[in-house]
Structure 1
Amino acid sequence: MSSAADDASGPTAAELLDFVRRVACDASTVASLPLDPEGRTWVQLEGPGGSEAWLIGWPPGTGTGWHDHADSVGAFITAAGTLKELSLAARLPTDGWRTLELTEGIDRSRELTTGQGRAFGRHHVHEVLNESDTEHAVSVHAYYPPLPRIRRYSRNGALLRLEQVERPEDWQ
């Protein structure tokens, strides 16, 4: 039995990265996003090959918290401003745990200025932040298959704890 994530007809993470790069270069699309000084804003885009895509605005000091996109591959790029991605360079078990003690040396940090992005595979645990005190950031994201769930985590030092599993019906 194969899952949607195994569907070879969907776009790859590299193809999603190409898509988000093209959108980020479209100044009129990026400028069309309404920015709110109080919270993140977003507009859904039509992604390639049945993927889910978003244009997201990040006010100064905002972030996602630690999360993953479960069985989806994805890509994102900074279209304006600067974002920081904190991630874990380790494969975590996908199910059956609530708390994990992380080993030393798995933390990664990258600063993504305008035009910089990345693709990622399934179960990629990360946090995205706009650390600026004054400047909005805008990014473009794409996922395939469309997000089946997002797992949210809390982190205290080396301890990562699964806090919540969200499904699309939770976002309506």
Structure 2
Amino acid sequence: MIVTTGVRADHLNTARRLADNPADWPVTPRFDPDQRWYHRLLDGPGVEAWLLTWLPGQETDLHDHGGSAGAFVVVSGALTERTLTEARDGTTALTSRLLTAGAARQFGEHHVHQIVNAGPVPAVSVHVYGPELTSMTRYRLQAGRLLVAAVDRAGAQW
């Protein structure tokens, strides 16, 4: 399954190419019981790629990508992506989509989401962003309103 939101296909193609060739990864994925593990796979001009692992229950905060578009592929296991949905009364809620091994998600520069391993087995995913991530804003939903919780900067928080 591929879900697109009107962005260029090169991020998705790069994510698929990397996900399809784990023998070319410079590291073997590791699983950390205390936090999601990640390793940069690609750092080129205008694009970067990350390998991430997810134990059951591990998740991101609700976040954006600081103006970068991107794509990710679930290599193994399954991940749930939660995205924002506006209700008729103008409030915001989260909608969930299960992405199993082989599924891909492509998104634009204004995409806000949360990713969680809600399943019983570990998961591995490859994420590609362009341009390179410089910041990520973390959000929280309170009474149906999206509020900024923090802004993380590359080189400081990751």
TM range (shorter): 0.7 to 0.9
The equivalent residue for 1:63 is 59
Q: TM-score, normalised by structure 2?
A: 0.83
- Equivalent of 2:147, from 161, 164, 168? 161
Give the total of aligned pairs: 149
- Equivalent of 2:118, from 122, 127, 131? 131
1:140 and 2:126 aligned: yes
Residue 147 (structure 1) shift: 0.8
Query: In angstroms, what is the RMSD of aligned CA positions?
Result: 2.3
Contact 1:86 1:109 in 2 (8 A): yes
Q: Which runs of 5 or more structure 1 residues have no equivalent in the other structure?
A: 1-11, 91-101
Max Rg structure = 1
Relative to its length, the structure with more helix (as a share) is 1
Contact 1:30 1:138 in 2 (8 A): no
Q: 1:146 to 1:17 in 2, by over 3 A?
A: same
- Give the share of equivalent positions with the same residue, in percent: 37
Read off the aligned partner of 1:88 and give its amino acid letter.
L
Q: TM-score, normalised by structure 1?
A: 0.77
The equivalent residue for 1:51 is 47
- Equivalent of 1:121, from 85, 95, 108? 108
Residue 40 (structure 1) shift: 0.8
Contact 2:84 2:112 in 1 (8 A): yes
Read off the aligned partner of 1:83 and give its amino acid letter.
L
Deviations 1:108-166 (A, max 9, x none): 3211100001110012110000002x311110001111112100011134121101111
Relative to its length, the structure with more strand (as a share) is 2
Q: Which runs of 5 or more structure 2 residues have no equivalent in the other structure?
A: 1-6
The equivalent residue for 2:81 is 85
Aligned with 2:15: secondary structure?
Answer: helix
Contact 1:152 1:164 in 2 (8 A): yes
Read off the aligned partner of 1:149 and give its amino acid letter.
S
Give, in whole Å, the separation in 1 of the partners of 2:37 and 2:82. 21
Q: 1:155 to 1:39 in 2, by over 3 A?
A: same
Give, in whole Å, the separation in 2 of the partners of 1:89 and 1:114. 25
Read off the aligned partner of 1:26 and give its amino acid letter.
N
